[in-house]
Amino acid sequence: MAAFHASALSGLAWNPALPTALLLRLLSLDGHDGLALGHALRRPRLPEEAVLLLLGHPNPAIRVEFATSTGAGPDQRARLVDDPSPVVRAALAYGPERRVPRSTVLPLPDDVYARLLRDPEPSVRAALLDSPWLTPAFTASLTAHHDPAARLRAVGAWELLTAGERSALAADPDPGVRRAAALRECRSDARVTAQLLGDPEAAEEALRRGLLHRADAERCVAERAHPAALAGNPSLPADLVELLAVDPDEQVRLAVSVRPELGEARRMSIEFTVGDFDRGDVGWVRDGLADPDVLRRAATSAHPLLRRTAAQSPHLPPDLLDVLARSGDPLVEDLLGIHHPDTPEEVLMRVFARLGGTFSAWMAETHPRFPREGLAARYADHPDGNRRRLAVRDPAATPELIERLSHDPAVWTRQAAAEDPRLPLPRLREVLHVPELASSAGANPALPEDEMTAVLDRAGVPD
């Protein structure tokens, strides 16, 4: 298959105007063109005819792709629960590999998860218990499961468990389950923390989160047992916090500086260093990304890590969003562009201009608030081809301008123009045969159906 035929086919798989009959043709491929098939499988809410075709597709690799598609609804993917291939069922059990911020991955129904957990194949059960998409209620239901791996997963729903269920996990016959339960118990029980300090596999986490006896805290400070973890422990006595605030280890001082009980003046008096690319991951702020009081303390702090963690919240109220948007911290701007639905246009433009070609720039450009009006007048003749591409986004851009940009020296500008439905039809037919533009032209919703059919014919897709 010629390169531009494969490229046009790949673009066609994304085309929102692709008729169902042609989509079915494309989905009937046996897998020799994985890119086009992968694109087609990720189309949102495939029609029923396409779902039926995929459920019975002879190539299990295609069914795996469908099982992990972020475009398919959970009710559609769930119909693979009885697939004859354990590889497909394992893919279904785990679910989509990753989630792009601002997108949603809906879990499978709990009864489907229950059936997968009863699957005779160990690989399917293991994939399910490793899935990031299980619902809290289903996770909590695993406390009495016969498989220790399931009970271990149930510990993750600790806050939903009854006192009896917690006690049962704490006394579980499996040492890994008992350790995980103890690490949850120790947050409110200093006796359990003291026991865990003798377990090399649990000591660091127990020092980070566990309730501490004064004597244990003093001993661990003196022995320098995991001091960076200890420096963030919520129950560490104030005098020991002050001692670690002047610790010679910079990571220990940094851990002290982000403690939640510190006032702003004391926080900023600690000598610490934060790198330009150190993303915020302050636990108490991360856990409170929907809490107005936590967000206010973090967003108005002078501490970069608190601000950067707060910038990951989609719940920032307008005044705090404005505070962070004016912080002058490029990483805060990047995070706002990724996570917040109301990020100001000027912030999104700065991220795009600074980081063109990166994930953050793509998230900024695809943000619903990324500007559109006025871009043609502002950027059509800009010396930077990446900026000229923005002119295509302007609803006021004329067909003549779109055609001119389809001849632009910068390939990414030509590609943006080739995908725009305002591109005059003669030029659209022409760029469909240009290797570097064929994919964009194939995705153009203005492409006539006869041209779409011709793309499939030229690519050798069976009728």
Task: For 280-326, write each residue's pLDDT tens digit.
Answer: 799 999 999 999 999 999 999 999 999 999 999 999 999 999 999 99
| DSSP secondary structure, 62-87, as one string | HHHHHHT-SSS-HHHHGGGTT-S-HH
Give CA–CA dist 161/152, Å, rounded: 13
Amino acid at 169: L
Task: Check whether 1 has a pLDDT greater than 70.
Answer: no
Rounded to an integer, the average pLDDT of 430-437 is 95
Least trusted range by pLDDT, from 23-37, 90-104, 203-217, 263-277 = 23-37
Of 77, 98, 71, 100, the closest CA to residue 89 belongs to 77
Q: How much is the pLDDT for 457? A: 92
Q: How much is the pLDDT for 104? A: 84
Task: Check whether 351 has a pLDDT greater than 70.
Answer: yes
Report whether 145 contacts 136 (CB < 8 A). no
- How many separate helices (H) and strands (E) can be counted in the chain? 34, 0
User: Which residues lie below 8 Å from residue 414, measured CB to CB, with a gap of 6+?
Assistant: 405, 406, 407, 408, 431, 436, 437, 440
Task: Check whether 447 has a pLDDT greater than 90.
Answer: yes
Share of the chain above pLDDT 70, in %: 98
